Amino acid sequence: MFPEAISTPNAATTPTEISVAELAARLASSHPPLVAEILGPQYFESGHLPGAINLPLEGFSGAAARALPDKAADIVVYCASSTCKNSDVAARQLQSLGYQNVHIFRGGKAAWRDAGHALVA
């Protein structure tokens, strides 16, 4: 086998973290990221980040392919709080499906509210 043929991991294989301030600024920009809440529909309906779509882990791969057709899009995933790991699971799944610009908002809805931002119900 030729060394050139061996695929090596790069920075794009690790989802990056995004802070509350950075997410708020990017959501207010002219090119906001696609934001996905990785909790069940009942949690999404009780309040979610502005512009977010609901992509629960159940049936995630198929739903992501339908809801996020552009694999080069800027995508931010989040869940309830820093202790919720659904967003980590979703970010890894998105990357395994070929999505290139995946970010995790680890603080989730709790950090968003704590920073004084409103949730959309």
pLDDT tens per residue across span 106-120: 999 999 999 999 999
In a domain, 49, yes or no: yes
User: What's the pLDDT score for residue 22?
Assistant: 97
**Dihedral angle sign, alpha carbons of residues 110, 113, 116, 120:** positive
Report yes or no on whether pTM surpasses 0.75.
yes
Number of independent structural domains in the chain: 1
In a domain, 119, yes or no: no
In a domain, 59, yes or no: yes
Instruction: Quote the domain boundaries for residue 44.
Output: 3-114
Span of 11-15, 19-23, 68-72 with lowest mean pLDDT: 11-15
- Helices then strands, each counted (H, E), the chain: 5, 5
In a domain, 120, yes or no: no
Reduced to 3 states (helix: H, G, I; strand: E, B; else coil), residue 31 is coil
In a domain, 41, yes or no: yes
Residue 60's alpha-carbon distances to 21, 42, 90, in angstroms, are 28, 16, 8
- Provide the CATH number for the domain around residue 10: 3.40.250.10
- Stretch 44-70: mean pLDDT: 96
User: What's the pLDDT score for residue 112?
Assistant: 98
Which helix (H) or strand (E) segment holds residue 78: the answer is strand 74-78
